[in-house]
Structure formats: C-alpha cells, structure tokens
C-alpha cells in the first residue's frame, strides 16, 4: 500500500519539478524570503524584477529587514531545499514535493487505521495523490502544503495517542478491578487510573504548533483535534466502566490544556529564533526605539515581536484588495474559482498544434471535490442522526480548515487554501464510499451494487486525474485542449 501510494505521489510531484523556470504566483514572496534566510539569517528586503532573481541575478537583494506577514517555518523548509540543491526552481520546490509525497502515505495509513482496511487505505492514499490541489501546491514553493503536512501529521499522532491510551486504560482498569476484588463488569470506583505521560499527544501538539508556525490558520487544527481528543477520553473512560468518568476525563483535560498552550507558545517562539538572533530583521528593535510603549513588562525583544505580530494581524484584517483569482470560501468545496498559477504560450512544436500553452491551475480533482462535498454533508447527517464519532473524526479536519474562513469572505483569499482541507475531504469521501460498498446492514460484507458504484467511481477519479494532469504539471498542450478543461466559466 505505502509503496504504491508513495511511488504514484512522487511521480506526480517530482516529474519536471524545475518547471516553470520562474517564480510562480506567491513564490515571489516565499522563495526570496527563504533565500534571505540562507544568506542573511533573516528575511531581507528585495527590489527589482522577479524574472532577474529566477535567472540568478541577485542585484535586488538588500540587507534591510523585510516586513513579512507569515511565520517562517515554511520558508525555513524552502530554504533547506535551496541549501541542498541550490538557488534554482528544483531547490525551491524540493521540500514541498518531498513532504507532499509523505502526506499521501500518511493519509493512506490513517485511512487504513480508521476504516480498518488496507484496501480503503490504499484508495485514500491514491485519491490524495491524484488531487490537483495537493499536486500543484506540493510542486510550488508556497506555504500551504507545509501547513497541511503538519496538520495531517498531528492528526495521525493524536490517533495513535487514542489507540495507545485506550489500550492502557482498559488494561489498568482491569487490574484495578482485580486488586479491589471486583467483577470484570462492575463499575470501577473513582475517576479511573492515571495513564502517565502521553507522548503521542505531545507529538501531536508539536505538529499542530508547527502547522500554526507556517500560517496561523494551522492553529485551528490544534483546537479542533485536541477537543476531539478530550471527547475520546470521555468516551473511553465511560466504556471502561469508570464510575466518575466525566470528572476523570475533565480534571485531566484542564492541566493538559494549559500545558498544550504553554508548549505551543514555546515551540512557536523557538521557530522565530532567526528573528531573535539577528540584529537587522524587521522590527527587531521596535521596543528600544519606542520606549514606554507596548508590553513594557516583557523583554524588549518579546515586546518588539508582539508589536510585529499586531502589524501582521492588521495587515491580514485589512487585506481586501481586489484580485482576479480571489474566491469566496462558501464555494471552496466545489472549487468554484481556482487559482491560475502560471500561463504562457509555448513553442508550437512542443504540442504539434497551431498554438501551444503551458498552464498550471491550482484546481482540485473535480470528482473528488464535488462528490466529497456530498460526503461531508452525509457525515453531518450521520453525526446528527446517529452520533457517529467516526463521521466526526474523518470530517473534522475539513471543517476546521474551512469554517474559520467564512467570516473573512470579504478578504483577498484564494481557493488554493483548500489544500489543507484536501486530506480530510478525501478521508470523508473514502469513508462514504465504504458505506456504499460495505453498508452497515451487511456487517462488513460487500454489496454487489455498491461495490460496482465504488469501483466505477474510483476508475472515474483516475481517468479525470489523467485528463487534468497537464494543467497540474504545466505540460505544453494545444490551446484548444486547455479550453476543453474549462468546464465552468469561473475556471477561465
């Protein structure tokens, strides 16, 4: 399973990774910032033509600190690729392709665990491997794929924590009954056994902290999944027969929550070490230059960082500039307004037509997203009608990546943000397909009709992926063939 998914994902993410030989869309901000980190140790200001930088002309490179509006973990990862392969398109994009491939394998294992099936795990891994958003964002040096990778890693870690903790709780509860002379089915007095340090939960917290250290929206995953973890604790203590199960879970949740906030803050601050250790980074000496202002009870460096973050917050709150590809989050699930990252005419000989074009569109696999939206609706129904915890588990990440954006529909935001939703849309879609092929009434058995529907759908997803692949990879194609992909007027 892992081999098939990994090879497929790597092929779609690494083939011709150095194309285009130019800065694509917001790479202009993140690549140049990453290069600054490799040379100055902080993000310096840039002037001049973007094409010159892509050609190796660094004359626009300045030592003055640049006002950047996102944390630096994603740019540090881009910088790692530059350090390994040099300041070239392959180097800029290498870490995104590598971690984007790893994310596909993680989703395959997560789906196998949740759905208790290697087959369905394989389907989930293949679906995320052939999703256009996941492919395009892994092939371009933007930040969002790193946010998604850390969110998925945190989700995987918290699932392992639940598995380990539940087994430990069951074992210790049984031992406590034996010690107290109780029957196996007797309620266990008190709040239940103490389970010690939960290392997998701490790993999950670290991953979510890194997700938020790529873009602040990553912290929404931390809030959603750690609350889910508390809900699991309540359910598992009750299932273990603990008499005061609610108190047992909640009294442990409060200190765990406080430690989570403290740990996240420490990790986040550590990711800003290049800013702290430099003397020329943007806003580094604001507190010294403005005595008596801000949080004066804190060290000057921290006071300056807080002021910087307030500036970043104000920038995002007031970012309402009209953009050709800005999109309303209410339409994200149907990929209503995808982002065109790159479009240029290619030499005619490259495709054998009168006009050839090379285009890259951050557009999800339409079948995955359109049917995935229906699957999410079905998950909501299952949660409301049957209190289906598995439906909540597979879909929560998609809602955590989507709902917080709804109040900001007026801002300049883009459909490619949905790359953080894509893994969880896929999980929900495959969960729904399993319900079709293996309905509950058959208790694990296969429905002939449902299996035919599921197999036909999987085949259609792969065919659509092959059809849209040129628009995800930037392969030169006839202009008419490009037009044939513009299924909706809003895609043009």
**d(C-alpha 98, C-alpha 14), whole Å:** 8
Cβ-count burial 175-195 (b if 16+ within 10 Å, e if not) = ebbeeeeeeeeeebeebbbee
Helix (H/G/I), strand (E/B), else coil: 164: helix
Helix (H/G/I), strand (E/B), else coil: 199: helix
pLDDT score at 61: 83
Strand partners, 80: none
pLDDT score at 464: 97
pLDDT score at 474: 93
pLDDT score at 51: 74
pLDDT score at 390: 96
pLDDT score at 111: 98
What is the full per-residue pLDDT of the chain (492 aa) written as tens digits? 899 999 999 999 999 999 999 899 889 889 999 999 998 888 988 877 777 788 877 877 888 888 899 999 999 999 999 999 999 999 999 999 999 999 999 999 999 999 999 999 999 999 999 999 999 999 999 999 999 999 999 999 999 999 999 999 889 888 888 888 888 888 888 888 888 888 999 999 999 999 999 999 999 999 999 999 999 999 998 988 888 888 888 888 888 888 889 999 999 999 999 999 998 899 899 999 999 888 889 999 999 999 999 999 999 988 888 888 989 999 999 999 999 999 998 876 678 888 999 999 999 999 999 999 999 999 999 999 999 999 999 999 999 999 999 999 889 899 999 999 999 999 999 999 999 999 988 988 999 999 999 999 999 999 999 999 999 999 999 999 999 999 999 898
Cβ-count burial 316-335 (b if 16+ within 10 Å, e if not) = eeeeeeeeebbbebeebbbb
**d(C-alpha 446, C-alpha 232), whole Å:** 29
| Pick from 220, 217, 151, 140: nearest CA to 417 | 217
Inter-residue contact 432 to 368 (CB < 8 Å): no
pLDDT score at 349: 66
**d(C-alpha 173, C-alpha 405), whole Å:** 43
**d(C-alpha 353, C-alpha 85), whole Å:** 35
pLDDT score at 96: 97
pLDDT score at 138: 97
**d(C-alpha 179, C-alpha 207), whole Å:** 39
**d(C-alpha 301, C-alpha 295), whole Å:** 11
| Pick from 216, 145, 215, 212: nearest CA to 416 | 145
Strand partners, 61: 46
| Pick from 390, 376, 341: nearest CA to 361 | 341
Residues with Cβ within 8 Å of 1's Cβ and at least 6 positions away in sequence, in order, are 108, 112, 118, 121, 122, 125
**d(C-alpha 3, C-alpha 418), whole Å:** 26
* Alpha-carbon distances, residue 369 vs 359, 364, 374, 430 (angstroms): 21, 7, 9, 12
Q: Counting beta carbons within 10 angstroms of the beta carbon of residue 69, is it exposed (0 to 12), middle (13 to 18) or buried (19 or more)?
A: middle
């Amino acid at each position: 399973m892992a081999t098939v998914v990994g090879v497929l994902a790597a092929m779609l993410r690494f083939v011709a990774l150095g194309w285009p030989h130019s800065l694509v869309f917001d790479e202009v901000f993140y690549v140049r910032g990453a290069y600054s980190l490799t040379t100055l140790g902080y993000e310096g200001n840039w002037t001049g033509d973007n094409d010159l930088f892509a050609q190796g002309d660094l004359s626009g490179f300045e030592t003055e600190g640049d006002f950047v509006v996102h944390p630096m973990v994603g740019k540090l990862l881009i910088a790692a690729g530059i350090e390994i392969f040099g300041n070239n398109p392959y180097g800029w994009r290498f870490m995104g392709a590598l971690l984007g491939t790893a994310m596909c394998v993680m989703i395959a294992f997560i789906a196998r665990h949740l759905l208790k099936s290697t087959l369905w795990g394989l389907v989930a891994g293949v679906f995320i491997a052939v999703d256009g958003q996941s492919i395009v964002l892994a092939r371009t040096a933007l930040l969002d794929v790193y946010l998604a990778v850390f969110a998925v890693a945190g989700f995987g870690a918290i699932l392992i924590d639940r598995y380990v903790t539940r087994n430990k709780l069951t074992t210790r509860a049984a031992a406590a009954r034996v010690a107290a002379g109780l029957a196996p089915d007797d309620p266990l007095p008190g709040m239940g056994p103490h389970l010690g340090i939960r290392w997998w939960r701490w790993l999950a917290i670290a991953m979510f902290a890194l997700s938020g250290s790529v873009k602040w929206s990553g912290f929404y995953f931390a809030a959603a999944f750690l609350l889910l973890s508390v809900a699991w604790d309540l359910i598992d203590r009750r299932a273990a027969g603990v008499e005061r199960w609610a108190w047992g879970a909640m009294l442990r949740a409060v200190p765990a929550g406080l430690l989570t906030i403290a740990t996240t803050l420490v990790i986040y601050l550590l990711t800003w070490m290049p800013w702290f250790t430099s003397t020329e980074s943007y806003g580094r000496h604001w507190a010294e230059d403005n005595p008596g202002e801000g949080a004066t009870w804190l060290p000057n460096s921290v006071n300056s960082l807080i002021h910087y973050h307030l500036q970043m917050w104000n920038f995002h709150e007031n970012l309402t500039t009209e953009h050709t590809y800005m999109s309303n989050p209410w339409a994200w699930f149907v990929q209503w307004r995808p982002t065109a990252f790159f479009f240029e005419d290619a030499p005619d000989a490259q495709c054998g037509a009168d006009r050839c074009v090379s285009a890259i569109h951050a557009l999800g696999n339409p079948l995955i997203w359109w049917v995935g939206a229906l699957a999410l609706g079905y998950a909501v129904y299952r949660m409301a009608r049957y209190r289906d915890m598995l439906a909540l588990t597979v879909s929560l990440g998609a809602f955590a990546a989507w709902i917080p954006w709804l109040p900001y529909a007026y801002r300049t935001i883009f459909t490619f943000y949905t790359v953080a939703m894509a893994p969880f849309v896929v999980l929900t879609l495959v969960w729904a397909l399993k319900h079709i092929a293996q309905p509950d009434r058959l208790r694990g058995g296969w429905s002939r009709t449902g299996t035919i529907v599921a197999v036909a759908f999987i085949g259609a997803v792969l065919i659509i992926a092959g059809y849209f692949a040129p628009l995800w990879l930037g392969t030169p194609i006839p202009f008419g063939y490009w037009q044939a992909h513009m299924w909706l007027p809003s895609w043009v």
